[in-house]
Homo-oligomer: A and B are copies of this chain.
Amino acid sequence: MADDGYRQPAFDAQVLQRILDGRYAAVRDLVRDNLVEHAQVLDDADMMPREEFRERVREIVGLIAATGQAGYGFPEKYGGGGDIGASVAAFETLGFGDLSVLVKVGVQFGLFGGAVLQLGTESHHDAYLEDLISGRVLGCFAMTETGHGSDVQSLETTATFDAATDEFVLHTPTESGRKDYIGNAARHAELAVVFAQLEIAEESHGVHAFVVPIRRDGQPAPGVTISDCGDKLGLQGVDNGRLSFDRVRVPRTALLNRFADVTAAGRYESEIENSNRRFFTMLGTLIQGRVCVGGAGLSAAKVALAIAIRYADTRRQFRTAEDQPEQLLLDYGIHQRRLLPLLARTYVLHCAQEVVAGRLHDVFTDGADERTRRALESRAAGTKALATWHATWTIQECREACGGAGYLSVNRFAALKADTDVFTTFEGDNHVLLQLVAKGLLTDYSSDFSDLDQLGMVRFVAGLAVDGVLERLNAHKLLERVRDLLPGGDEWDQEAGLLDSNYQLAMLEFRESHSVAGVARRLKRGIDLGMEPGEVFSRVQDHVIFAARAHVERLVLMAAVEKFQALPDGAEKVAFGLMVDLHALTEIERDRAWFMEHGRLTTQRSKAISREVNDLCRKVRPLAVDLVAAFGVPDAMLRAEILGEQAS
């Protein structure tokens, strides 16, 4: 390696951990302690039959509730902590442990509790919050149906107002209208927040949420049919079930009425006139779940990396010279290439997650205008998609990097793989979430989000927005801005140093602007040619997803660059900077074909980027064990037997 002034940083993993832990270090440490105290659950997950393990998980959720750790996000008045940021930090950290526990906590306190808190009003809060925060009453979140998951505006369950008795009648009209995959429903929930089409005098007002008792003394309530989803790929400790309602009556006050209400006379009242907008405003209050899932996915990836990198630093295989010991796996170039960019991306996504969690806290604590809320929802959606795909990929690569040992349950990957697998499709399918991101980009978050689907997007773009989109994303202005930041004038992308973060960001920003504008043009052209909107959308859809992803990747890198710039000088900053550079160049390398196709990368420079990625991997290699140590995964959560063995 040429002497480029680089000196290997001698950094302190604990100092770096405090940097990563950020504002809620104390909360994270409390959760770490609780995880270690209940570490036995990792074994129980392997050993216990399903029903027994479900009870065990319920028990732990109760114990966790008793520590106060699960209630951070609720008002202090009801025994909560009154700190949304703390509740996200606690949930993320819980992701180091058994993920059935995590998801059951998420269902109870995030989905069920969050719906009561956000969609209900004081009478609901008074009635339910204290009991649900303490874990005395368990509930579930009954939105998804067998027939509709992504398209929740098309749910079939009905809630018909009966003025004669002042009640709503909840009903499942068809097989495809049964509630499905509902966590906590098969065994433990007494209450459900049920999403249903509100109907008054044969007029539909769209989807609303109702608190419905579904179980009494362990038995289904009258009119409620409950069945069990049975074995799943993972998360066996969560009792997912199905709910059907046969004309189940609840009082009028069961409507969670923060955004809309029905009077005793049967008049429908809401401050939000447009029914779609009302629905998406309601949904928007529930985005904490998405933020939490993304963060938990990253925690699972951290566990996998901690095991695989520590293993690779002790496991030896093959000699490279007769008189040498066998070589450590992590000294192989291909092993570095497989694991270290994933480590870097985990650091960078951690920063992006921190920004999203911080904004969530601010918006829900201090309030915000609608555009800010929409932008946050979009960012939460995109970050969740990238973080959970990253988790799936990272855990897979780490398993393979540990070979046969990685296949044994005792080494943790089995549970990590199985339990996280659904993260990419629950709390919003990742592809659908990226479409939501694209929608926000194309409409500049100014739309009332009246149509989440492709029809709405196509129609919107066809109608009016293209010029606005193009102007807003004017690549010309971007290039001017970049010229000011980077040397090289019009040749900025050929002259700037590869490790200049302005260059890295400019590349991702160019890709974003160019691809979003391209999507707008293509949609417009299709409509102008008179094609069916559905056909237009289907043809452009891969481009739509690409553009959304390009946008989120830029936000992700920017979050890490800003965190880096704010760090005090020192060895920790140098190490952190290596992570940012390695990630940024790996991302440009991954998509280098696109940059070449669009004139922003010469073939020579493209090859230089690949060489730089290899150089960075070699620089990171001696730091890798400390870099995973800084994630602060408790040793008891690694469990991995392979780490306890000396290399042969």
Q: Kindly specify which of A60-68, A269-277, A403-411, A629-637 makes contact with the partner chain.
A: A403-411
Q: A149-B404, A404-B425 are in contact. Are A320 and B233 (CB under 8 A)?
A: no
Q: How distant is A506 from chain B, measured CB to nearest CB, in Å?
A: 20
For A409, the chain B residues whose CB sits under 8 A away are 230-233
Q: How far does the alpha carbon of A407 sit from the alpha carbon of B240 in the complex, in Å?
A: 11
Contact with B along A535-570 (1 / 0, CB 8 A): 001111110110000000000000000000000000
For A537, the chain B residues whose CB sits under 8 A away are 320, 333
Q: Kindly specify which of A323-331, A350-358, A461-469, A484-492 makes contact with the partner chain.
A: A323-331
Interface residues in A399-421 (C-beta closer than 8 Å to B): 399-400, 403-404, 406-410, 413-414, 417-418, 421
Interface of A is mostly: helix
Contact with B along A38-54 (1 / 0, CB 8 A): 00000000110100000
A421 touches B431 (CB 8 A): no
Q: How far does the alpha carbon of A449 sit from the alpha carbon of B404 in the complex, in Å?
A: 25
Q: A181-B404, A233-B407, A392-B396 are in contact. Are A333 and B414 (CB under 8 A)?
A: no
Contact with B along A501-524 (1 / 0, CB 8 A): 000000000000000000000000
Q: How distant is A409 from chain B, measured CB to nearest CB, in Å?
A: 4
Q: How far does the alpha carbon of A646 sit from the alpha carbon of B230 in the complex, in Å?
A: 21
Interface residues in A358-417 (C-beta closer than 8 Å to B): 392, 396, 399-400, 403-404, 406-410, 413-414, 417
Interface residues in A318-345 (C-beta closer than 8 Å to B): 318-321, 324, 326-327, 331-334, 337
Q: How distant is A410 from chain B, measured CB to nearest CB, in Å?
A: 6
Q: Does A123 contact B (CB under 8 A)?
A: no
Q: A233-B413, A396-B392, A537-B320 are in contact. Are A545 and B592 (CB under 8 A)?
A: no
Question: Quick one: closest B residue to A45, CB to CB?
Answer: B231
B317 touches A148 (CB 8 A): yes
Which of B146, B406, B541 is within 8 Å of A645, CB to CB? Answer: B146
Which of B146, B334, B534, B607 is within 8 Å of A541, CB to CB? Answer: B334
Q: Does A147 contact B (CB under 8 A)?
A: yes
Q: How far does the alpha carbon of A647 sit from the alpha carbon of B147 in the complex, in Å?
A: 7
Question: Quick one: closest B residue to A334, CB to CB?
Answer: B541
Q: A404-B149, A414-B232 are in contact. Are A333 and B399 (CB under 8 A)?
A: no
Name the residue in A421, A430, A533, A545 with the highest tally of chain B Cβ atoms < 10 Å from its Cβ.
A421
B231 touches A46 (CB 8 A): yes
Q: How far does the alpha carbon of A95 sit from the alpha carbon of B50 in the complex, in Å?
A: 27
Q: Does A426 contact B (CB under 8 A)?
A: yes
B150 touches A334 (CB 8 A): no
Q: Does A424 contact B (CB under 8 A)?
A: yes
Q: Does A246 contact B (CB under 8 A)?
A: no
Which of B407, B455, B458, B645 is within 8 Å of A232, CB to CB? Answer: B407
Name the residue in A175, A453, A532, A544 with the highest tally of chain B Cβ atoms < 10 Å from its Cβ.
A453
Q: Does A180 contact B (CB under 8 A)?
A: yes
Q: How distant is A615 from chain B, measured CB to nearest CB, in Å?
A: 10
Question: Quick one: closest B residue to A621, CB to CB?
Answer: B538
Q: How far does the alpha carbon of A413 sit from the alpha carbon of B421 in the complex, in Å?
A: 11
For A334, the chain B residues whose CB sits under 8 A away are 431, 541-542, 544-545
Contact with B along A147-190 (1 / 0, CB 8 A): 11111001010000000000000000011100011000000000
Q: How far does the alpha carbon of A191 sit from the alpha carbon of B149 in the complex, in Å?
A: 53
Which of B176, B181, B318, B454 is within 8 Å of A454, CB to CB? Answer: B318
For A406, the chain B residues whose CB sits under 8 A away are 425
B151 touches A318 (CB 8 A): yes
Q: How far does the alpha carbon of A424 sit from the alpha carbon of B401 in the complex, in Å?
A: 10
Question: Quick one: closest B residue to A458, CB to CB?
Answer: B320
Q: How far does the alpha carbon of A544 sit from the alpha carbon of B150 in the complex, in Å?
A: 44
Name the residue in A407, A539, A647 with the highest tally of chain B Cβ atoms < 10 Å from its Cβ.
A407
Question: Quick one: closest B residue to A327, CB to CB?
Answer: B534
Question: Quick one: closest B residue to A153, CB to CB?
Answer: B318
Q: Does A262 contact B (CB under 8 A)?
A: no
Q: A233-B399, A454-B320 are in contact. Are A421 and B410 (CB under 8 A)?
A: no
For A453, the chain B residues whose CB sits under 8 A away are 318-320
Q: Does A134 contact B (CB under 8 A)?
A: no
* Chain A residues proximal to chain B, CB less than 8 Å: 46-47, 49, 144, 146-151, 154, 156, 174-176, 180-181, 229-234, 317-321, 324, 326-327, 331-334, 337, 392, 396, 399-400, 403-404, 406-410, 413-414, 417-418, 421-422, 424-426, 429-431, 453-455, 458, 532-534, 537-542, 544-545, 592-593, 596-599, 603, 606-607, 614, 645-648
8 closest Cβ contacts across the A-B interface? Answer: A320-B534, A147-B648, A176-B648, A231-B409, A233-B414, A593-B593, A333-B541, A333-B538
16 A/B residue pairs, CB under 8 Å, sorted by A: A149-B317, A150-B318, A181-B408, A230-B409, A233-B414, A233-B418, A320-B537, A321-B534, A332-B541, A400-B425, A404-B425, A406-B425, A407-B421, A417-B421, A596-B596, A596-B603
Given A154-B326, A333-B537, A597-B607, 8 more contacts at CB 8 Å? A174-B648, A230-B409, A318-B454, A321-B455, A332-B538, A400-B430, A407-B421, A596-B597
